């Protein structure tokens, strides 16, 4: 498949993922909708272009592992799992309801395709390091991806894991950081200044790249580059993805209190219309 075709395929997947996010958001009337929209391109590139998996067998031994450490981003991950065919689209309507397999915070025991229980921030990368080490000890070559947030970079455990990954030369490990510049308590730069991120990850021994995380072409190039580079050097890779919360729905892109959005009943259709108009506009 040519590069342009891959880009188009991923853009279309991201569009459907965003629709799924709105479907689930509407069930609850509120939630982490902005984050789900913001990481849709990262997830689409992972599931429609990069990861090896079998939709009908989520525990297939040879699957690449995708670890979501940010449990509150589950809305985005469920949308991607639905796009991938791992979770039925019709089930998205149960999001966050009693007895649903799709709880508001991601949990491994509930959802097919959810590798770990997230939410206790700062632990995902450590688990990913252990998993990548374990797979290597077994002589396997599956890759391990970890999607984490800029808020998780406030946690010392993330940086311990980063050191461990370099020490053990875990070239099959890829970290994806959603740098949306926001946390629960406000802007990342006001909570704890973690920049310059590229320099820090590089100093920790990682092959680090920084891209616009809502630019599918840039993302795919970075994913490709990461795999090739890590294969050659054995160093773990990180892609720092600058994203916009609410991306694809202008009504939500500049919302106050974006960490946990409340969206009025009358606004959901408008959100869907804006999303569709944006996608059609880009394809014209």
Residues that bind ligand TPP (CB under 6 A): 35, 70, 72, 119-122, 149-151, 180, 182-184, 259
Q: Using the rule CB under 5 A, is 149 a contact of Mg ion? A: yes
Residue 70's binding partner among Mg ion, ligand TPP, none (Cβ under 5 to 8 angstroms by kind) is ligand TPP
Closer residue to ligand TPP, CB minimum distance, 86 or 175: 175
Closer residue to ligand TPP, CB minimum distance, 182 or 219: 182
Closer residue to Mg ion, CB minimum distance, 163 or 184: 184
Closer residue to Mg ion, CB minimum distance, 114 or 182: 182
* C-alpha 174: how far from chain center: 12
Residue 209's binding partner among ligand TPP, Mg ion, none (Cβ under 5 to 8 angstroms by kind) is none
Shortest Cβ distance from residue 245 to Mg ion (Å)?
A: 8
Q: Using the rule CB under 5 A, is 111 a contact of Mg ion? A: no
Shortest Cβ distance from residue 245 to ligand TPP (Å)?
A: 7
| DSSP string across 150-206 | GGGGG-HHHHHHHHHHHHTT-TTEEEEEEE-SEETTEEHHHH-----HHHHHHHTT-
Closer residue to Mg ion, CB minimum distance, 57 or 189: 189
Length of the chain: 284
Closer residue to ligand TPP, CB minimum distance, 133 or 197: 197
Q: Using the rule CB under 5 A, is 180 a contact of Mg ion? A: yes
Distance separating alpha carbons of residues 281 and 254, to the nearest angstrom: 20
Q: Is 67 helix (H, G, I), strand (E, B) or coil?
A: strand
Residue with tokens 């391990």: 144
Tell me the site size for Mg ion, rule CB under 5 A.
Answer: 5
Beta pairing, strands 261-262 & 30-31: antiparallel
Beta pairing, strands 65-68 & 144-149: parallel
Question: Which stretch in 101-109, 128-136, 147-155, 211-219 sits in contact with Mg ion by CB under 5 A?
Answer: 147-155
Shortest Cβ distance from residue 70 to ligand TPP (Å)?
A: 5
Residue 54 gets which letter from DSSP?
-
Distance separating alpha carbons of residues 45 and 217, to the nearest angstrom: 10
Tokens at 205, concatenated? 């021994």
Q: Using the rule CB under 5 A, is 182 a contact of Mg ion? A: yes
- Minimal CB distance to ligand TPP: which residue? 151
Distance separating alpha carbons of residues 71 and 151, to the nearest angstrom: 12
Q: Using the rule CB under 5 A, is 194 a contact of Mg ion? A: no
Closer residue to ligand TPP, CB minimum distance, 124 or 164: 124
In b/e form, how buried is each residue of 225-238, taking b as 16+ CB within 10 angstroms? ebbeebeeeebbbb
Contacts to Mg ion by CB under 5 A: 149-151, 180, 182
């Amino acid at each position: 498949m040519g590069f342009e075709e891959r880009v188009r395929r991923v853009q279309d997947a991201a569009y459907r993922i965003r629709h799924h996010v709105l479907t689930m958001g509407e069930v609850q009337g509120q939630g982490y909708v902005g984050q789900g929209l913001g990481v849709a391109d990262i997830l689409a590139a992972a599931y429609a272009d990069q990861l090896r998996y079998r939709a009908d067998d989520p525990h297939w031994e040879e699957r690449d592992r995708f670890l979501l450490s940010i449990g509150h981003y589950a809305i985005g991950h469920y949308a991607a799992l639905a796009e991938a065919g791992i979770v039925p689209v019709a089930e998205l309507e149960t999001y966050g309801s009693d007895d649903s397999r799709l709880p508001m915070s991601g949990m491994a025991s509930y959802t097919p395709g959810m590798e770990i229980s997230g939410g206790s921030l700062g632990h995902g990368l450590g688990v990913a390091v252990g998993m990548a080490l374990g797979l290597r000890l077994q002589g396997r070559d599956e890759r391990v991806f970890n999607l984490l947030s800029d808020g998780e970079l406030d946690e010392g455990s993330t940086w311990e894991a980063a050191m461990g990954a370099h020490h053990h030369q875990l070239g099959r490990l890829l970290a994806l950081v959603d740098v949306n510049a926001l946390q629960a308590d406000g802007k990342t730069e006001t909570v704890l200044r973690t920049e310059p991120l590229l320099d820090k990850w590089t100093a920790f021994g990682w092959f680090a790249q920084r891209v616009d995380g809502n630019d599918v072409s840039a993302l795919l190039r970075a994913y490709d580059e990461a795999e090739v580079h890590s294969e050659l050097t054995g160093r773990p890779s990180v892609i720092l993805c600058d994203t916009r919360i609410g991306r694809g729905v202008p009504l939500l892109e500049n919302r106050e209190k974006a960490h946990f959005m409340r969206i009025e009943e009358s606004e959901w259709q408008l959100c869907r219309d804006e999303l569709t108009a944006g996608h059609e506009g880009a394809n014209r």
